[in-house]
Structure 1
Amino acid sequence: MERVPVPTRVSVQDGQAMLQMVELPPSVYEAPFLSDGLNQAQARGEAGRASSCPVKDLPAEGPLPAGLIFHVSRCGSTLVTGMLGTLPGVRGVSEPEALSLYLLHCAQGACAFDAEAFRRLIKVFGRGAGPGGRYVIKFSSWNLLFLDWIRDALPEVPWVFLTRDVTEVMASNFRNPSAPLRWYRSRGPWFEACFPDWPGEERNAPEAFFAGCLARYTRKAREHQGPLCLWADYARLPGLVLDQILPHFGLAADAPQRARLEEKSRYRSKGNTRETFVPDGERKRAEATQAILEAVKVAVPGPGW
């Protein structure tokens, strides 16, 4: 069975970031999220040799990603990654935990952010990607808080910022909370690392917090706007993948490949991926509480915190 080294976690030892890797089939990258693929492969007993290495000592050689995908959450980023991953020789890497852990450890001050080390860490995800070694990486939504660091490490890599109607994003997150909202409620160390300036008097205002969080994502993306950045609206998916994201990332698809991409877009990108996708924007807007609507009015149009 073919195996490639897959980053699983990053820990810190004596102020130094250490990467843990496990040799696994490349098919782990085909799951909606890399963590799902890792869990499934390990449950099937497909894990090979495990290894550990200081992040700064990873090999410098290897291709950079064809593109990076950032998003506000619940806005089609998993679909986009999955569609791109159907192209021959292209690997879609969805929200790798190792990258998030590295950023969190650096934010906490457990280790110093090293742009060259992060660049080397990124390249590990392209190992064994096939002819040409093309791959794209989708970051977790809150990774946008550290866009300065990421762009410093990968200044030449094109990227996409996916957005969606804010009320729909809010409603989805209050039904099934993403990491920042869970951290807000628990007030653990990750929350303090990512949101050190959130005012304490707003402790019991989750709607205000998350609306402000989304506004911060958008401001951070706007700070880095330029020719390498493509803003993409959920409402224009899936056609936007074919018409704009492919050429933006320097990727191409012939007629049969485009047909496969379009077929992929007809099904849910998460959960039961064999189930036909049904648009849910109207239902999400109907679920929005008055507190959500008020928080959106206050946080999104204004300058933020």
Structure 2
Amino acid sequence: MENLNLHGWLPIRLWQEAGQWQVDWCWFGDAQLRQPFFGDAVEHALRLPFNQAFRRQTPLDALGLWQRQSPGLGPSAFIFHASRCGSTLISQMLAQLDDHIVISEPPPLDALLRSDLPPAERCVALKGLLSAYGQRRRGVERRLVVKLDAWNIGELALLRECFPDTPWLFVYRDPLEIAVSHLRRPGMHMVPGMIGATVLDDGLPFASQEDFIPRRVGRLLATGLEHCRASAGMAVNYTELPEAMTGRLAAFFGLDDRQRKRVFAAVGQHAKQPAQVFVGDSEDKRREASALLRERVLHWAQGPYEALKSLPL
């Protein structure tokens, strides 16, 4: 692998085989990643005839080798979130900018963060992975923004050990609205046992989804609050969006006047389903909530939500 050339290729999967970590790569060429999630971009790329005929797999240490041969952009910002709270809107707004690489919830990153690799080896792999995502495939890229899975707020400290200078934010929302969204269509982390051990686990029994989901939402908000207080993260309320992208979020991401106008090209679209027009649904969600759900949210999640709102801007 001394003359490794992976220009145009991105890591799409990490897994263990016979005790050794492997990397699955997919060819993207110079295509910009504008889909709401990295998985959507992978699904599109895998339909290309080239990727149906050719695949590349390497050992994990190829990430570090490729970084040394072809250093990519370092991460300029990390987006953490409580789920269903506007983080995808932020990432989709930034994806309108030609000089931004936006990687949204890439499974290989979650796999590394929650792996049992020794800390030093994991940090090398994390740096190599983000360097691979930060390759300047079109030659105009200047910033790399990474949005993580909601449960990765539990691994924030691990990520900051490798990237201590990268600023980060935590997007949150009224917990009742988050809970109703997951009751309608549960995310993976709101299905018991689906994603393995995370910071969201509390080990307590539950009687129904209306009990289980508010507890998980509460854990998300409480963990985000803890890290915002300890590590100077920026807390961003859903109610601030999208207007904050002309103010404090624009400053956070370092956007100039032209970019501030450009990002609003995505605002009229539904962030997760760009073909649809976005329609606010906060009031509908609140009306839909049952008395039990309201009681459980008040007990488990309202406290950290109010504390997040009280953090200084």
Q: TM class, shorter-chain normalised?
A: 0.7 to 0.9
Which residue of the partner structure matches residue 84 of structure 2?
Answer: 74
Structure 1 residues 301 and 264 mapped into 2: Cα distance closer, same or farther (>3 Å)? Answer: closer
Offset, 1:195? 5.7
CA distance in 2, matches of 1:134, 1:195: 29
The number of aligned residues is 289
CA distance in 2, matches of 1:97, 1:69: 15
Aligned AA for 2:272? Answer: K
Which residue of the partner structure matches residue 212 of structure 1?
Answer: 215
Unaligned segments of structure 1, at least 5 residues = none
CA distance in 2, matches of 1:30, 1:197: 33
Residues 28 and 37, structure 1, Cα contact 8 Å, conserved in 2: no
Among residues 8, 22, 26, which one is paired with 1:22 in the alignment?
Answer: 26
Among residues 240, 256, 260, which one is paired with 2:244 in the alignment?
Answer: 240
Which residue of the partner structure matches residue 122 of structure 1?
Answer: 130
Residues 29 and 94, structure 1, Cα contact 8 Å, conserved in 2: no
Which residue of the partner structure matches residue 85 of structure 1?
Answer: 95
Among residues 85, 102, 110, which one is paired with 1:100 in the alignment?
Answer: 110
CA distance in 2, matches of 1:21, 1:244: 36
Which residue of the partner structure matches residue 180 of structure 2?
Answer: 171
Mapped pair 1:142 → 2:143: no
SS in 2 for 1:180: helix
Residues 208 and 299, structure 1, Cα contact 8 Å, conserved in 2: no
CA distance in 2, matches of 1:181, 1:72: 12
Among residues 249, 266, 277, which one is paired with 2:268 in the alignment?
Answer: 266
Structure 1 residues 283 and 301 mapped into 2: Cα distance closer, same or farther (>3 Å)? Answer: closer
Mapped pair 1:253 → 2:262: no
Q: Per-residue CA shift, 1:77-133, capped at 9, x if unaligned? A: 1110011111231111111111122234x2xx4x44422322222221111253354
Which residue of the partner structure matches residue 221 of structure 1?
Answer: 224
Residues 63 and 129, structure 2, Cα contact 8 Å, conserved in 1: no
Deviation larger for 59-68 or 140-149: 59-68
Residues 76 and 167, structure 2, Cα contact 8 Å, conserved in 1: yes
Structure 1 residues 125 and 224 mapped into 2: Cα distance closer, same or farther (>3 Å)? Answer: same
Which residue of the partner structure matches residue 58 of structure 2?
Answer: 52
Unaligned segments of structure 2, at least 5 residues = 1-5, 305-313
Aligned AA for 1:29? Answer: L
Structure 1 residues 204 and 27 mapped into 2: Cα distance closer, same or farther (>3 Å)? Answer: farther
SS in 2 for 1:27: coil
Mapped pair 1:40 → 2:50: no
Give RMSD over aligned pairs.
2.5
Offset, 1:222? 2.7
Structure 1 residues 141 and 152 mapped into 2: Cα distance closer, same or farther (>3 Å)? Answer: same
Structure 1 residues 26 and 232 mapped into 2: Cα distance closer, same or farther (>3 Å)? Answer: farther
Deviation larger for 237-246 or 160-169: 237-246
Among residues 47, 63, 68, which one is paired with 2:73 in the alignment?
Answer: 63
Offset, 1:3? 6.5
Offset, 1:32? 0.9
SS in 2 for 1:131: coil
Structure 1 residues 56 and 50 mapped into 2: Cα distance closer, same or farther (>3 Å)? Answer: closer
